[in-house]
Amino acid sequence: MDFPEILLILAVAFIFLGPERMMEVAVKLGEFLRKVRETWDELRYQLYMESINRKIMEESRQASTPETEGEQAQEVAQEDGTAGPSQDAPDGASEGTKKQAD
């Protein structure tokens, strides 16, 4: 809309509504536009927070998948040179097994 069109609309509204009623309509229109803007900002904020939460959930799922944990355990075992339980006891049994037998 161009400025002359807005002036024409305001002039017609002023003629039909009168000066007192015109002020009431302007106040109500301002309040309505403020509520619309607040609602729109809140909606945008909620969508933003939802997208952040979705990204966090995807990252946590990727970090805690069983395949990834299994691969990490294999990598650690290969680095240590042992693939089984620790052989702390001299008879070859693990420490936990020896304590249970005692």
pLDDT > 80? residue 75: no
**Which whole number is the average pLDDT over 50-69?**
84
Separation of alpha carbons 37 and 30, rounded Å: 11
The reported pTM is 0.47
Tell me: the pLDDT tens digits for 78-91?
Answer: 555 555 555 555 56
**Which whole number is the average pLDDT over 27-46?**
96
3-state helix, strand, coil split of the chain in percent (to 5) is 80, 0, 20
Separation of alpha carbons 95 and 84, rounded Å: 12
